[in-house]
């Protein structure tokens, strides 16, 4: 009795001064992490305090103005320095948080801060961190990799400090123990396994007994009047088919500012595969044409075709973009050394190393060799492992390309909201500088990748068991353009209207369906509001829904299976079905939204080249313009993205969370973008 009373008093006393700042959502994280023992009080933990960045709303407004053709600021992108200037937190933020640490006896010499003042860091004993945050720190075991991390169920901050802080680690987001005094540290397992979160363009074709690309496919009757190279685009899509479908010109420009970039991580292209592809499908391109590789923290490419990390993603991305934009040079951001790349992909593909390289303000610490990254999720360089990158973390070394295509992703709920928001803001900063970021939406319908959070890839919560839709990260971020897949059916030609990408894999044992839905973390962005309202007014899918609260802790409430109030995705789509591609010398037919993002990157590049010739700047963040001019796209009205035991959503006239606004109509897009300042 006595004991219970004391604890109660302590809690009451504490809560008078402290406020709950972040809390883990058991239903979401339970399947990922197993709570183990309490962290030893003397273990040193890396405390990292993400300070609130300033002017984020102003930054958002600014980006919207820059991206809105009706604004006088349309197209007036900022420089890198202007962006940094805009977001630097004022001195009193840093001072308030520093004073709080000092008050609690943290040694001043241990407190480090970043150049841009975005982060404070101190390595302190666990017992001190617990007292500071009114929390209990535990070890957690990652159920997939066996890695041990530390974190807590919830933590508190004094009200006057809380307003200055985005989030703290170790916290709801886990950290490794830096030094454990009485226990041996378990090293992370850096297995060379395939990334479960990769938007895989699965093998399809001869591997699984269905006909290969060069099978004698019957020609659709309507194909006989078409040029030979575009007669069977429903069974083998090729660059010639892309051009015919979207009325793209053959590339003929190579300027110094419009090279598009591909983000690659844990997967590496092989030049012999690329050359073989170009010989097969791109007669206008010399087969020796290679992309320019920009290595980030040990990322090197190409690899020999037989390398086990030549998994197809990079080959395909490079194949598509070179075929469509040659002679324009193509860039590859090859991120992380091979040890980290694979580990990152298997669990924590968070883009931070990549963002560091483009925006040094995200990573730079001035003391103790600490970076603004989070060591538990983000690679630490130099990497001591065999074959690891021995150089320093690369910060701010590359000017961001005007177009960046990313075909990687995972569930938005793999990370706490504050973490996701902070990273999404980095993509906003790229938009401010005039970069278009295209992200593949995923291939599992309204579900996530099988195994991402639950075996089915669907969410559990509020009494529901794997019936709730799972949203993709980075597609949830309102500052990127999410690209879904579309397809033609056998028997159709380029003269037919495409459908949503739905296809059978493995002779019907699995399916790809284009990912789409609504974010649990982000509400509807301004540019999507009227379009989304129209969608629900005219085509309400009829499924039960919920309205996610600010911390997304009520997912699945009232039997709802999606957050009606969330940012909807994808924004657009493009063909993602049956591209015959050599991988390690053998031609397979690949499918997935992964094909659609580089295809869109090529389209935006061709448009940017024309704007450059007309003396205009890059298109940049494109969503506001597209949502207000949907007629420059080919609307898709057939197909669904079923999943999680439900029929998912349907492609309908206008925007829908299956195919977005539709596929590119190049001549109409060109006319529109040349008409803008």
Ligand X SMILES: *[C@@H]1O[C@H](CO)[C@@H](O)[C@H](O)[C@H]1NC(C)=O
Residue ranges in contact with ligand X by CB under 6 A:
115, 254, 256, 306, 308, 327, 329, 360, 364, 366, 395-396, 465-466, 489, 499, 502, 584-585, 638-640
Residue 386 CB burial class (10 angstroms; 0-12, 13-18, ≥19): exposed
Q: DSSP letters along 545-562, please?
A: -B---TT-TTTTGGG--S
Q: How far is the CB of 305 from ligand X (least distance, A)?
A: 6
- When the beta carbons of 158 and 396 are compared against ligand X, the nearer one is 396
- Rounded Cα–Cα distance for residues 443 and 448 (Å): 8
Task: Give the contacts of 508 (CB within 8 A, at least 6 positions apart).
Answer: none
Strand partners for 296: 335
Closest chain position to ligand X (CB):
360
Give me the catalytic one of 130, 273, 297, 313.
Answer: 313
Cis-peptide, bond into residue 302, ω within 30° of zero: yes
DSSP letter assigned to residue 410:
E
- When the beta carbons of 88 and 565 are compared against ligand X, the nearer one is 88
Q: How far is the CB of 197 from ligand X (least distance, A)?
A: 21
Q: How far apart are the first and last CA of the chain?
A: 74
- When the beta carbons of 182 and 256 are compared against ligand X, the nearer one is 256
Torsion of CA 103, 37, 374, 113, to 10 degrees: 10
Cβ atoms 169, 120 nearer than 8 A: no
Q: How far is the CB of 245 from ligand X (least distance, A)?
A: 14
- When the beta carbons of 283 and 585 are compared against ligand X, the nearer one is 585
Label the pairing between strands 481-487 and 572-575: parallel
- When the beta carbons of 582 and 620 are compared against ligand X, the nearer one is 582
Instruction: Collapse the DSSP code of 285 into the 3-class scheme (helix H, G, I; strand E, B; otherwise coil) and give the result.
Output: coil
- When the beta carbons of 26 and 105 are compared against ligand X, the nearer one is 26
- Any binding-site annotation on 359? no
Cβ atoms 597, 438 nearer than 8 A: yes
- Rounded Cα–Cα distance for residues 523 and 537 (Å): 18
- When the beta carbons of 174 and 596 are compared against ligand X, the nearer one is 596
- Any binding-site annotation on 68? no
Give me the catalytic one of 515, 594, 602, 646.
Answer: 594
- Any binding-site annotation on 635? yes
- Rounded Cα–Cα distance for residues 322 and 388 (Å): 30
Q: How far is the CB of 366 from ligand X (least distance, A)?
A: 5
Q: How far is the CB of 376 from ligand X (least distance, A)?
A: 22
- Any binding-site annotation on 636? yes
- When the beta carbons of 560 and 648 are compared against ligand X, the nearer one is 648
- Rounded Cα–Cα distance for residues 648 and 445 (Å): 7
Is-catalytic flag, 313?
yes
Establish how many alpha carbons lie within 13 A of residue 283's alpha carbon, considering only the half-sphere containing its beta carbon: 2
Going by C-alpha positions, the residue among 455, 476, 474, 475 that lies closest to residue 466 is 455
In degrees and rounded to multiples of 5, residue 96 shows phi and psi of -60, -45
Q: Tell me how far the alpha carbon of residue 51 is from its chain's centroid.
A: 23
- When the beta carbons of 255 and 671 are compared against ligand X, the nearer one is 255
DSSP H or E segment with residue 486:
strand 481-487
Going by C-alpha positions, the residue among 382, 362, 358 that lies closest to residue 371 is 362
- Rounded Cα–Cα distance for residues 163 and 146 (Å): 35
Going by C-alpha positions, the residue among 570, 405, 582, 581 that lies closest to residue 485 is 570
Establish how many alpha carbons lie within 13 A of residue 439's alpha carbon, considering only the half-sphere containing its beta carbon: 28
Q: Is 166 left (phi over 0), alpha (psi -120 to 50) or beta?
A: alpha
Instruction: Collapse the DSSP code of 62 into the 3-class scheme (helix H, G, I; strand E, B; otherwise coil) and give the result.
Output: helix
- Rounded Cα–Cα distance for residues 441 and 485 (Å): 8
Cβ atoms 593, 485 nearer than 8 A: yes
Is-catalytic flag, 594?
yes
Cβ atoms 440, 407 nearer than 8 A: yes
Q: How many helices (H) and strands (E) does the chain have?
A: 17, 29
- Rounded Cα–Cα distance for residues 291 and 281 (Å): 17
Q: How far is the CB of 455 from ligand X (least distance, A)?
A: 7
Q: How far is the CB of 256 from ligand X (least distance, A)?
A: 5
Q: How far is the CB of 191 from ligand X (least distance, A)?
A: 16
Rounded alpha-carbon distances, angstroms, from residue 657 to 16, 493, 536: 45, 25, 11
Give me the catalytic one of 317, 319, 378, 472.
Answer: 317
- When the beta carbons of 283 and 677 are compared against ligand X, the nearer one is 283
Q: How far is the CB of 670 from ligand X (least distance, A)?
A: 22
Q: Which residues are catalytic?
A: 313, 317, 594
Annotated binding-site members: 635-636, 654, 656
Annotated binding-site members for Ca(2+): 635-636, 654, 656
């Amino acid at each position: 009795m006595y004991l219970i009373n004391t604890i109660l008093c302590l809690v009451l006393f504490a809560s008078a001064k402290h406020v709950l700042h972040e809390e883990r959502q058991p239903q979401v994280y339970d399947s990922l992490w197993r709570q183990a023992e309490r962290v030893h009080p003397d273990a040193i933990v890396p405390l990292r305090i993400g300070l609130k960045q300033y002017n984020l709303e102003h930054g958002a407004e600014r980006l919207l103005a820059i991206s809105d053709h009706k604004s006088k600021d349309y197209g007036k992108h900022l420089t890198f320095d202007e962006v940094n200037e805009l977001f630097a937190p004022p001195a009193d933020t840093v001072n308030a948080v520093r004073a709080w640490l000092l008050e609690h006896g943290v040694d001043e010499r241990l407190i480090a801060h970043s150049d841009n003042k975005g982060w404070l860091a101190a390595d302190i004993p666990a017992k001190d961190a617990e007292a500071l945050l009114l929390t209990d720190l535990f070890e957690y075991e990652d159920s997939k990799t066996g890695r041990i991390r530390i974190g807590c169920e919830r933590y508190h901050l004094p009200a006057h400090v809380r307003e200055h802080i985005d989030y703290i680690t170790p916290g709801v987001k886990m950290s490794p123990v830096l030094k454990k005094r009485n226990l041996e540290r378990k090293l992370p397992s850096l297995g060379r396994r395939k990334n479960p979160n990769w938007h895989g363009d699965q093998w399809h074709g001869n591997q699984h007994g269905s006909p290969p690309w060069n099978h004698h496919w019957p020609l659709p009757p309507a194909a006989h009047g078409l040029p030979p190279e575009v007669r069977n685009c429903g069974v083998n899509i090729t660059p010639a088919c892309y051009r015919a479908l979207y009325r793209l010109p053959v590339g003929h420009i190579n300027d110094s500012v419009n090279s598009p970039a591909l983000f690659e991580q844990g997967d590496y292209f092989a030049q012999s595969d690329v050359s073989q592809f170009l010989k097969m499908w791109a007669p206008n391109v010399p087969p020796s044409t290679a992309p320019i590789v920009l290595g980030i923290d040990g990322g090197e490419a190409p690899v020999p075709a037989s390398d086990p990390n030549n998994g197809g993603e990079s080959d395909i991305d490079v194949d598509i973009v070179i075929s469509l934009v040659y002679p324009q040079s193509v860039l590859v951001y090859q991120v992380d050394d091979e040890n980290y790349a694979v580990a990152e992909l298997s669990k924590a593909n968070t883009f931070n190393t990549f963002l560091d390289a483009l925006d040094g303000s995200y990573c730079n610490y001035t003391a103790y060799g600490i970076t603004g990254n989070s060591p538990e999720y983000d690679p630490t360089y130099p990497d001591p492992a065999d074959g690891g990158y021995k150089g320093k973390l690369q910060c701010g070394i590359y000017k961001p390309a005007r177009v960046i295509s990313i075909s990687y992703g995972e569930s938005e709920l793999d990370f706490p909201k504050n973490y996701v928001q902070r990273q999404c803001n980095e993509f906003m900063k790229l938009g401010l500088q005039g970069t278009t970021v295209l992200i593949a939406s995923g291939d599992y319908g309204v579900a996530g990748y099988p195994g991402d959070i639950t075996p089915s890839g669907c969410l559990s919560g509020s009494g529901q068991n794997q019936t709730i839709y799972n949203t993709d990260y980075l597609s949830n971020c309102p500052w990127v353009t999410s690209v879904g897949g579309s397809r033609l059916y056998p028997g159709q030609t380029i003269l037919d209207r495409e459908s949503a990408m739905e296809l059978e894999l493995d002779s019907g044992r699995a399916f790809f369906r284009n990912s789409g839905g609504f974010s649990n973390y982000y509400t509807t962005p301004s540019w999507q509001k009227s379009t989304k309202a129209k969608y629900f007014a005219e085509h309400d899918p009829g499924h039960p829904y919920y309205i996610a609260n600010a911390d997304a802790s009520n997912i699945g409430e009232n039997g709802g299976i999606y957050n009606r109030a969330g940012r909807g995705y994808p924004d657009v789509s493009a063909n993602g079905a049956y591209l015959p591609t050599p991988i390690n010398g053998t031609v397979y037919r690949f499918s997935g939204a992964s094909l659609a993002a580089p295809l869109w990157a090529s389209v935006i590049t061709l448009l940017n080249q024309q704007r450059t010739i007309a003396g205009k700047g890059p298109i940049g963040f494109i969503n506001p313009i597209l949502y207000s001019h949907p007629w420059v796209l080919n609307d898709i009205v057939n197909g669904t993205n079923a999943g999680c035991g439900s029929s998912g959503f349907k492609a309908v006239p206008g925007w829908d969370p299956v195919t977005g606004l539709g596929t590119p109509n190049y001549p109409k897009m060109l006319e529109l973008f040349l008409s803008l300042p």
